[in-house]
Structure 1
Amino acid sequence: MDAESFAILQAPSGKVLMGIGPFQELAECPHQGVAFYVNNFSLTEPRPWKVPSAVVEFDPAEMEGMESPVIEWEALEPDGFAQVFSEINESIQKGVLEKSVPVATERGSLKGGTARGLLNGLVGSGDQFYPYAWVDGASGFCGQTPELLFHLRKGRLKTMALAGTARAEDRSVFAFDEKEIREHEYVAQTLVASLSDIGMVKRGERRMMDLGKLVHFHTPIEVFMYGDHAIDYLVRKMHPTPALGPHPRTPESLELLYEWRSRLGAPRGFGAPFGVYDHGEFHAVVAIRGIYWEGEQVAVPSGCGVIEASRLTNEWRELALKRSAVKACFGI
């Protein structure tokens, strides 16, 4: 891939759109043609809409010949995460929070190949994943996320609650894990409540989503909207979802989360909305299960939901499990 900048995202139809730069940057959705939505987790990017110079359907052949990277990883020590975990527990005990989502980030250095070679991992993703990528010169990110932020078409909004994690071999026990079910219900119930003012909400059954090495609880949610709402308004209403954000979601609890993420070195785009407006239809995913790079430096973040029943050892193990799944997906 020779373009200096480009964006890639798979739609629910299975079609993978690629926008090729240079991009025109806009503060609001253009409501015509195609535009990608690229923002950070705190949604402070002043011009998040990126209108490409050209749009094509992604061809996996474009990835052929790209040398896979060789990365030397640094050991991730638990000290910083343990301190944040303790502070979240303290906030829960004080009644400030019921849940928050800290992020641990493993870092490494490129020792061979190119960071763009990570894009080889976008080819051949399973039906449960949405491949995505944003590359701007020597920096970028890519991933395969199972989490839909929302899909909007003709007044119908589709989203999901995706929370609760276990190893695939523990699926039979996971189905009855009270802590994981409780965490999932926080997410599902909060989503339903927050969306009830914009339309009639239909919640599906909680099921298990099989992602190979991992399993998650998944609940589909659909909203038949009462009227029109700007896409930018809906993005801010939906993000961060209860799966990645605090509960309750208040300016104070969000500031705490931003501070914890910053202290732990989370990439600014991890867990952020990443979407595409395509001739009247909008599709956005949550940018998780991804890899971030800046020059020779590479980062793999992972997050976990911390509630009163959470235990440090179990959460630290879950974070490592998620990063391991990402590394395996991208062959690193």
Structure 2
Amino acid sequence: MRHRDQWILIEGPFHPVSDANRDEITVFFPDFYDLGSSPALGGAKIHRLSTEELRKNCEAFLGQKPAAAPVGKAPWNEPLKEHFATALQRTQDLIREGRIKKTVPAVFARSEQTVTPQERAQMILTLLEAPKTLYVYGLWQKGEGVLGATPELLFDYAKGHLRTMALAGTCPKSESTRRESLLHDEKEMQEHLYVLEDLMSVLHPWGDVKTEGPKIVELPTLYHLKTDIEIQCKTKPEFFSLIQQLHPTPALGVAPRSAGYKWMKEFPGQEGRGGFGGPFAFIGKEEAVCLVAIRNLQWNETSSMIGSGCGVVAASELEREWRELYQKRLSVRKILGLDV
């Protein structure tokens, strides 16, 4: 994980850790729908590297290995539009019935090609250039892994200070000249406010909630609405409890929270979602950073996939949301240096 201009690397082999709030840093990356699906993992060594040190390590590794065809050469099977149309229709039916206000269907492009160590090193080299507005992260072991650069922080806690964000409302740069500014787009602002109001409600017991925003954040291929949230906590959170309280925010789940979110896995095309949109946390005894695991490539021993999600509210339109989903997947391929 890239954090505060430093690269934190945990070297395996990994082992389950029952008490993650201890001196060593542990990593936690469970299934989106089941936070109990994977334990926190401790490693054999922890390294803290500068960008240049990590670059030299990757280049040295690649210099010792034969070149391989980059991941992405195999055809990508794009998600089916009719699957997303079904999810959008079911969501808007629930909204009309007054049962929910918003949910976030996800779709997945899939490839019958896995990721080799050489490809992984090359993608890391590309990610070294990712803008500071993105949190670079990854985890791989036993033939499975994830690598990506997310703009979304679930929380960052250090020295009594808790930071998080409401990140919802999107406009692809390719559409920015023919759409209203996000700050004046009623649909996108409403989507953003659902997330902001939810987070403020959940976090209020920890202390006075201060916000800054909303503002427009520029990423390589997208614009997002973002409100920064800060709290000086009265007491130190128990980090796993905090993850359980926050995940998923309406930026990836459902508004209101009381409607639950696990029913979303009944939407078509959800097979193998894994950790997409779930928490990705590095946890220490006194500090913790937890990302929202979006904008990533996930793989196993035989295949790879790239997911994207979009917020559906009453005013959502199929074609506009479908284009946004594609642009988000395209941004992943670009930031990882994959063929587009």
* CA RMSD after TM alignment: 2.0
Q: 2:23 matched to 1:23?
A: no
Flag the 1:266–1:221 CA change in 2: closer, same or farther, 3 A.
farther
Q: How do 1:174-323 residues align onto structure 2 when only pairs under 5 Å count?
A: 174-175=181-182, 176-250=184-258, 252-260=259-267, 263-265=269-271, 267-323=273-329
Note the C-alpha offset of 1:169.
4.7
Flag the 1:78–1:171 CA change in 2: closer, same or farther, 3 A.
closer
- Structure 2 equivalent of residue 6 of structure 1: none
- Structure 1 equivalent of residue 166 of structure 2: 161
Q: How do 1:97-108 residues align onto structure 2 when only pairs under 5 Å count?
A: 97-108=100-111
TM-score (norm 1): 0.90
TM-score (norm 2): 0.88
SS of structure 1 residue aligned to 2:217: strand
Flag the 1:55–1:322 CA change in 2: closer, same or farther, 3 A.
same
Amino acid at match of 1:62: N
SS of structure 2 residue aligned to 1:204: strand
Q: Encode CA deviations 1:83-133: one digit per residue, 9 max, x unaligned.
A: 111111111111111000000100112289665354443221111011101
Give percent identity, aligned residues only.
30
Measured in 1, the distance between the counterparts of 2:240 and 2:136 equals 22
8 Å CA contact 1:28–1:47 kept in 2: the answer is no
Measured in 2, the distance between the counterparts of 1:99 and 1:179 equals 11
- Structure 2 equivalent of residue 5 of structure 1: none
8 Å CA contact 2:21–2:286 kept in 1: the answer is no
Measured in 2, the distance between the counterparts of 1:178 and 1:75 equals 30
8 Å CA contact 1:72–1:108 kept in 2: the answer is yes
SS of structure 2 residue aligned to 1:141: strand
Amino acid at match of 1:217: L
Q: 2:13 matched to 1:10?
A: no
Flag the 1:265–1:199 CA change in 2: closer, same or farther, 3 A.
same
Measured in 1, the distance between the counterparts of 2:92 and 2:196 equals 22
Q: 2:139 matched to 1:134?
A: yes
8 Å CA contact 1:103–1:266 kept in 2: the answer is no
8 Å CA contact 1:267–1:292 kept in 2: the answer is no
Measured in 1, the distance between the counterparts of 2:152 and 2:83 equals 27
Note the C-alpha offset of 1:46.
5.1
Q: 2:336 matched to 1:330?
A: yes
Amino acid at match of 1:162: L
8 Å CA contact 2:113–2:303 kept in 1: the answer is yes
Tell which deviates more after alignment, 42-51 or 92-101.
Answer: 42-51
- Structure 2 equivalent of residue 63 of structure 1: 58
Note the C-alpha offset of 1:257.
2.1
Q: Encode CA deviations 1:9-39: one digit per residue, 9 max, x unaligned.
A: 112x121100011112123423222211221
8 Å CA contact 2:108–2:269 kept in 1: the answer is no
Structure 2 unaligned segments of length 5 or more: list them.
Answer: none
Q: 2:151 matched to 1:110?
A: no
- Structure 2 equivalent of residue 4 of structure 1: none
Measured in 1, the distance between the counterparts of 2:115 and 2:127 equals 20
Count of paired positions: 321
Note the C-alpha offset of 1:266.
5.3
